[in-house]
Chains A and B, each alone.
Chain A
Amino acid sequence: MTHHEAENTTNDPASAVLERARHFVDDLTLTEVVRWKKDHPGQLAVGYMPIYVPRPMLEGIGCLPVAMFGGGDQVDIIKGDSFYQSYICHIPRSTLELALNGSLDSLDGVLFPSICDVIRNLSGMWQMLFPEKYASYVDLPQNFDPELGGKFYVNDMARILRDLTARGAWKYDADKMRAAIAAENSRRAALKELDTLRVKEPFRVRASEAYLVARAGGLLEAAAHEKLVREFVAAAKQRAPRVYDNVRVLVRGSFCEQPPLGLIKTLEAAGCDIVDDDFQLGLRYIDGDIECGPSDDPMRAIATAFLRRGQATASRYIADEEKGAALVQSVRQVEAEGVIFAAASFCDPALLDQPMLEAALDRAKIPHTSLKFAENTGQFQVIREQAGAFSDAVKLWGSAA
């Protein structure tokens, strides 16, 4: 913490809730999960890798969904490196490190959603290294026809429900599943309110703060997370910050391996108001509610929401033009003046999509720049130079440096 931050937190109505959020984000040994299991005897905690798994499906059978974002810049990788070549991203190494050093022992199982070959490979390693734990790859549908991809997805979720029930999770109950969906929708609404506040008044909520508050939900049930998010939003509205003449930017590419908090702060210090991002996208993957009436099939409702309102991100195999158009639309919606691509080194999904997205931005005459990071990046001087030059160029000349 710099001396400026220390001064600013003295009278900040949001400092207490931010501290709580930070506690959840830093809880790499999952002490909160251990506590939850103590309070919920017999119930399971199920981890999942980025980007997206249907969290209400897990909560509906009494499981605690636990987002696994790797070790960030807090873990020394000793064993994890021996499993992956040097040209592989960092998150699987630190995740394995945490698993091998016992930090993830409280998890009863892990889901590996389809995002890239590396995560698929990790699911196989998990099954070999931890045969007593549940581990399953989740093939999210890439065919968006409800009769094909939709049915496939419902069947796959039914398989996971059966597997987890066999390991002690609650038996499927449609009413409980609908309640879990309702709780998820409420949490999603709270996150939307947070996002809206950032867009409207970015001086009240820094992206680095919103990041902590959103990411805390990775260890919390939907209802508890909703409470925390709403508490933060209410506190942020009480703040009396000063408005700065900053550049409004949108950040893309950090949906899986997460950037260190220092990187987000570096972008902010360079004069950028990050008004939209895809950090830890999973919690915001579905755009809006999962619509599920009292007589609707909740599993089909989850599948339909995924098919129809999933984000146009790198894990979805859709036409390039659609992703580019979605990005340009996002820029317009949040009135951003530029885009910063911040992808993890060796993140194939992000880096393969990037040229197409850049082309779409070029066509729309939207300035952009790109940088790469690893979750344990500790030096930000080069990024500071790049972000500072970009911010000034956009602010003064309306184009990239």
Chain B
Amino acid sequence: MADREHLTVGIDPGSSAVKVAILRSRAGKDAKLLAQSVQRIRRRKVADVVTAGFEEACAAAGVKPKDFDYVASTGDGDAVGFRTGHFYSMTTHARGALFFDPTARAALDIGGLHARGLKMNEEGRVLGHRMTSQCASGSGQFLENIARYLGVPLDDVGELSKQSQSPEKVSSICAVLAETDVINMVARGISTSDILKGIHMSIGGRLVQLLRAVGAEGNVVITGGLSKDVGMVAAIEQLFAEEKTKKTKKQHAEVVIKTFPDGILAGAVGAALLGAYRYEQLEKKGRAAAVLAAQASV
């Protein structure tokens, strides 16, 4: 256990929003989330959104930039010019998931551009991962596009999807084809709820495959922007439930989907906690002061 507390911040510029989390911890343990900020980018310069989010979170926590032991970036780290160091998003989401549920050993990060299933140990060290490749049909951006075609505010997508009585099946292969499907559905008079549920089931099918591919079992924390989409979460839970009723030779491990109100912050939270851990390591090696002094002097 670390002797002293560390004040760290994690900044996670993604493709749609910048997430900031300020935490106090002992080298990443006994952590407390002091403040947070989530700002949509909306055609602003990412670096400007980073600054705005950082200032907003600092004000909420009542701390000053110089108070931080480590400013950790994740996601698009280049947008955080004032960072101390950068951690890769896979590592930070694994650590962030553990912050929300210390018993979890897998996470599903569903972001704007892609989704990633990962398995980790109790330290948050990633043991295996799978992600959607260059295809857009497993991403939040795809869902945003569909919402825009349907004229539905993004925040309403989840609830509308849950109201579906008869979800309409869509192509789960390609976002381009799926978007064409949706246009056809609208023309055929399919209800918005049924279209959205169909989309959620389509994306959900790919996400379940990612989790199965990494060997996820037990509690699985959903992180990233789509963790707030209750329709998406319901679809994933339904797909796992349907697996149980199917008569197949393969026995799947039990999976329990866990979501948290601040799940979108997982990357930022993970970065802040890893920053605290790293800072303690640097201190032990006698290098922490050198890193910070070099930052100040150059």
Contact = CB atoms under 8 A, between A and B. Distances in A.
A388 B91 contact: yes
Contacts of B133: 381
Contacts of A244: 83-86
A243 B88 contact: no
B278 interface: yes
Contact of B46 (A3, A245, A388, A395): A3
B252 interface: no
Given A379-B134, A396-B274, A397-B125, A241 B87 contact: no
A313 interface: no
Given A4-B78, A242-B298, A243-B291, A392 B47 contact: no
Given A243-B291, A243-B295, A401 B278 contact: no
A99 B131 CA distance: 41
A2 B78 contact: yes
Interface string B37-72: 000000001110000000000000000000000100
A391 B88 CA distance: 8
Given A4-B47, A244-B86, A381 B134 contact: yes
A240 interface: yes
A396 B134 contact: no
A246 interface: yes
B88 A271 contact: yes
Interface of A: 2-4, 7, 203, 240-246, 269-271, 379, 381, 385, 388-389, 391-393, 395-397, 401
A245 B277 contact: no
A388 B78 CA distance: 14
A335 to B, nearest CB: 12
Interface of B: 45-47, 70, 77-79, 81-91, 125-126, 129, 131, 133-134, 274, 277-278, 281-282, 291, 294-295, 298
Contact of A245 (B45, B84, B90, B129): B84
B85 A395 contact: yes
Instruction: Select the residue from B70, B274, B295, B298 with max chain A CB neighbours within 10 A.
Output: B298
A2 B81 CA distance: 14
B81 A242 contact: yes
Nearest to A3: B45
Contacts of A271: 77, 85-88
A49 B139 CA distance: 44
Nearest to A395: B278
Instruction: Select the residue from B85, B88, B133 with max chain A CB neighbours within 10 A.
Output: B88
Given A243-B295, A381-B134, A396 B89 contact: no
14 contacts: A3-B46, A3-B47, A4-B78, A241-B298, A245-B70, A269-B77, A271-B87, A381-B134, A385-B88, A385-B131, A389-B88, A389-B126, A391-B88, A395-B278
Contact of A396 (B70, B83, B278): B278
A280 to B, nearest CB: 26
A14 to B, nearest CB: 15
In the complex, the 10 A-B pairs of residues with the closest C-beta atoms, listed nearest first: A388-B88, A245-B85, A243-B294, A392-B91, A4-B78, A271-B86, A243-B295, A392-B88, A245-B84, A245-B291
Nearest to B123: A397
Given A245-B282, A271-B86, A389-B88, A240 B298 contact: yes
A393 B278 contact: no
Nearest to B45: A3
A242 B71 CA distance: 13
Nearest to B296: A243
Contacts of A243: 291, 294-295, 298
Contact of B278 (A241, A245, A269, A389): A245
A273 to B, nearest CB: 11
B278 to A, nearest CB: 6
A339 B82 CA distance: 27
